[in-house]
Structure 1
Amino acid sequence: MDLLSGQPHWFYKNGAMHAYPALTENLTAEIVIMGGGITGALLAWHLTQAGFPVVVLEKRHIGMGSTSGSTALLQYEIDTMLTDLIDLVGEKNAVRSYLLCVEAIHKAREIVDSLQVKTGFSLAKSVYYASKKDDLPLLEKEYEARSKIGINVEWWDQAELRSHFPGIHKSGAILSHDAAQVDAYALAHALLQECMQKGARVYDTVEITDIRHETAGATLVLDNGNIVKTKKLIVAAGYESQKLISHNFVRLHSSYAIVSKPMPEKKELWYENALLWESARPYLYLRTTEDNRVLIGGKDEMFQSAIKRDKLLNRKARELEKNARSMFPDLPFVTDYTWCGTFAETEDGLPFIGGVKEHPNTWFALGFGGNGILFSIIAAGIITDLIAGKKNNDAAIFSFERLGKS
């Protein structure tokens, strides 16, 4: 699948950070992780920390799938609002899902603090504003629901919002104190490098062309003819994982992003460099980067055709730059990099974590949606527990069975 086109900022910023070998022989492994993006890297890190030997197989270069195109806003807010999620999955599971995402932000901080290299991580605030006046009652209700379960939020009326963001002429917003941002591409490499120091084996430019599920594990056939036998297989191949499951669990769509040239030196480009996003669907979102750029994304289209997606890139980039200039007219926004990619969403906005009956000895970590990195942290914890034989009380929330399919 052609996941990305254009110039994903993180790759151009970092370059080819590390080289990984190709797998040129048959192999036997305890655990194989299929996918070397941020999800696979987080899984490898958690499992390695727990003492498990892992092998990571990536068909591209490490981090060069969706990870290099991730805009990496770490927000506990699931694409489905808490009030709507309660109606979809029940209050208990909806509340727990939101609180797990809050916890995942701080787990992300603990992880990056433990690494030896910088990954562009910083804690931040998040501002979720009403795109139009009709959305205001929904946001007020959402604010009350979040506040009720202990999430650290404030309500901003129009005057308060304008005082902090004069260029955003909207009627109200929720300010969240729990959010963060990161360079997902750099983080994936940093995690895998640490795993390798502890004995993990990581291979890229090697594709699994066939998976034979067996009673005691799985046999993986590679595109170069080699065979990998494993007792446990974890699929962390993102949107491409859908082809391995007979039921259709996701809707694929196309999204666009641009990043500016570095702004003149100033400590803050706007109020505390908060993450910004809106209530409209599809939504616009903005963040800053550690080298003083503005990143804006959105303008999603509800199709998955890479040809159609790529034809719109120049037009979408112009529209995004116009949005950025309108919101922050005092910033000299000049587009530096533009890219687009295929992304996915689920029916309820939650990820799929766990196994399916048709594939024994196999676990899936599919962290879809706007906060896929946080979902991946949650998935890594759950799957590590399951492989270790520990009960995980949250596993059922994200199981494939929750929608009556398995």
Structure 2
Amino acid sequence: MSRSKRDLRSGVPLWLRREAASPAKPLERNETADVLVVGGGVSGALVADAALQAGLTVIAIDRRDFVKGSTPASTALLQFEIDEPLLALGEAIGEADAARAYWRSASAVAHLTGRIADLGLACGLKPRDTVYLPGNVLDARALAKEATARARIGLRSRYAEADEIKALTGIEAEGGIVSAGCAELDPVRLTRGLWRSALARGARLFAPVEATDVEESRSGVTVATVGGQEIAARWVVFATGYELMPFVPMEGHSVLSTWAMATAPQPEKLWPSRALIWEAADPYLYMRTTPDGRIIAGGEDEPIDDDDKRDALTAKKVAAIGRKLKAKLPDLAVEPEFSWAGFFGESDTGLPTIGTPPGFRRAFAVMGYGGNGITFSAVAAQLIQRAMIGLRDPDADLFAFKG
């Protein structure tokens, strides 16, 4: 049913060094539930959790298996900062809407960290600051203006001069933006934990199950599958990442390739703050640490949506990431112990699209584009939960399908 089937990632992400048994069973008969979630990654898991919180019954399916798609390719910098700077986003969609988008992102990080605590999920969650460094997109002066704009609307961002940036990161830079209220985690452990929690609360998980058709009536939806079974639900949520359903519009969105690597543990060489670090550059570099003292770095995005072409560039791209990392922090050992590639989405505004696609009333699609995809997945879970129980979310229009 998907518009395109892709190998969503390749290589060996750090997060998959430990195997885990599948939580899913084969689908052997027709099933019914209040909510059908299509997609076994982090977006689907958060939507399922929110639906269960609302007292709804849940079935989830995945055409591969759970936590086998794009989620393991994530580097899980859990931040409120959107790919499009606040000032640029304000020019694109208006200052008030840009402020709402940034505030919703910030509140989603807080909501997700709270939810992880409530469920007792052991996923390596650590609160972190982020440090946004100057680059060829925004220089130090532009970052200072951006920091002022953020502080003006109450966000926890401030401009730091070169000496403080050096003290926090070990990196020589003219200055940068330091933002509080962010975090890092292990995306696979998070998602596996969410699905285990969902199972314990009565969710039913089936894989491998591929949806082939969806029919909507006034009271619900029926999804047909490759195996001939049907699943009837009051609502269906398509959280299929970059394997989009054919009825989901692509206007304003594009799929890119991205690369990442993880070094061997070297805790004695990490920067003092362990902040999440990224550049206002194109192509950009970002980096974070792990609890066992590794450095994860990535970037080098290119507009490639073919997995063979993406994979052919992996060695070259990982080497480039290593060189950039070495240039910033010469004392690091930058040889990759793990390296991987994946697909990454972007939109014209840096915002995701979340809502009912044109022509539907009981189907939702989650297009969590942008560098902070896990944050946007948390936003999606909130928006969809409220829509299903009949509550108006004040920010739904920011993320809705246009037209």
Report how far residue 275 of structure 1 moved.
Answer: 0.2
CA contact (8 A) 1:254 1:343 kept: yes
* Larger CA deviation: 317-326 vs 380-389: 317-326
Q: What TM-score, normalized to structure 1?
A: 0.94
Report how far residue 115 of structure 1 moved.
Answer: 2.4
CA contact (8 A) 2:167 2:272 kept: no
Report the counterpart of residue 314 of structure 1 in structure 2: 315
Rounded Cα–Cα distance in structure 2 between residues aligned with 1:22 and 1:197: 18
- Report SS of the residue matched to 1:381: helix
Report the counterpart of residue 193 of structure 2 in structure 1: 190
Rounded Cα–Cα distance in structure 2 between residues aligned with 1:2 and 1:140: 40
Rounded Cα–Cα distance in structure 2 between residues aligned with 1:26 and 1:131: 54
CA contact (8 A) 2:23 2:195 kept: no
1:379 to 1:261, Cα distance in 2 relative to 1, 3 A: same
CA contact (8 A) 2:248 2:365 kept: no
- Report SS of the residue matched to 2:243: helix
Report the counterpart of residue 15 of structure 2 in structure 1: 10
CA contact (8 A) 2:22 2:65 kept: no
**Is residue 43 from structure 1 mapped to residue 44 from structure 2 by the alignment?**
no
* Larger CA deviation: 102-111 vs 246-255: 246-255
Report the counterpart of residue 280 of structure 1 in structure 2: 281
1:61 to 1:133, Cα distance in 2 relative to 1, 3 A: closer
Report how far residue 150 of structure 1 moved.
Answer: 1.0
Cα deviation digits, residues 300-325 of structure 1 (max 9, x gap): 11121111111000111111112222
**Is residue 140 from structure 1 mapped to residue 141 from structure 2 by the alignment?**
no
Report the counterpart of residue 64 of structure 1 in structure 2: 68
Q: What TM-score, normalized to structure 2?
A: 0.95
**Is residue 226 from structure 1 mapped to residue 229 from structure 2 by the alignment?**
yes
Rounded Cα–Cα distance in structure 2 between residues aligned with 1:252 and 1:136: 30
CA contact (8 A) 2:41 2:66 kept: yes
Counterpart mapping for 1:337-348 below 5 A: 337-348=338-349
CA contact (8 A) 1:242 1:248 kept: no
**1:74 aligned partner, one-letter code:** L
1:270 to 1:172, Cα distance in 2 relative to 1, 3 A: same
Rounded Cα–Cα distance in structure 1 between residues aligned with 2:83 and 2:310: 22
Report how far residue 133 of structure 1 moved.
Answer: 9.6
- Report SS of the residue matched to 1:145: helix
Rounded Cα–Cα distance in structure 1 between residues aligned with 2:158 and 2:246: 42
Report how far residue 226 of structure 1 moved.
Answer: 1.2
Rounded Cα–Cα distance in structure 1 between residues aligned with 2:312 and 2:105: 35
Give the counterpart of 2:91 among 67, 87, 90. Answer: 87
Rounded Cα–Cα distance in structure 2 between residues aligned with 1:77 and 1:164: 19
Give the counterpart of 2:253 among 242, 250, 260. Answer: 250
The alignment yields a C-alpha RMSD, in angstroms, of: 1.7
CA contact (8 A) 1:349 1:369 kept: yes
CA contact (8 A) 1:79 1:370 kept: yes
State how many pairs are aligned. Answer: 398
Rounded Cα–Cα distance in structure 2 between residues aligned with 1:205 and 1:133: 43
Report how far residue 176 of structure 1 moved.
Answer: 0.7
Counterpart mapping for 1:245-394 below 5 A: 245-263=248-266, 265-266=267-268, 269-394=270-395
1:134 to 1:26, Cα distance in 2 relative to 1, 3 A: closer
Rounded Cα–Cα distance in structure 2 between residues aligned with 1:111 and 1:230: 26
Report the counterpart of residue 118 of structure 2 in structure 1: 114
Report how far residue 141 of structure 1 moved.
Answer: 1.2
Give the counterpart of 2:182 among 167, 170, 179. Answer: 179
CA contact (8 A) 1:133 1:170 kept: no
**Is residue 170 from structure 1 mapped to residue 173 from structure 2 by the alignment?**
yes
Rounded Cα–Cα distance in structure 2 between residues aligned with 1:243 and 1:232: 18
Cα deviation digits, residues 187-244 of structure 1 (max 9, x gap): 1111111111111111121111222233332221111121112221111111222533
1:76 to 1:29, Cα distance in 2 relative to 1, 3 A: same
**Is residue 34 from structure 1 mapped to residue 35 from structure 2 by the alignment?**
no
Rounded Cα–Cα distance in structure 1 between residues aligned with 2:136 and 2:373: 27
1:337 to 1:392, Cα distance in 2 relative to 1, 3 A: same
- Report SS of the residue matched to 2:110: helix
Rounded Cα–Cα distance in structure 2 between residues aligned with 1:153 and 1:299: 26
Report the counterpart of residue 77 of structure 2 in structure 1: 73
Give the counterpart of 2:202 among 195, 199, 202. Answer: 199
Rounded Cα–Cα distance in structure 2 between residues aligned with 1:194 and 1:297: 31
The unaligned stretches of length 5 or more in structure 2 are 1-5
**1:7 aligned partner, one-letter code:** V
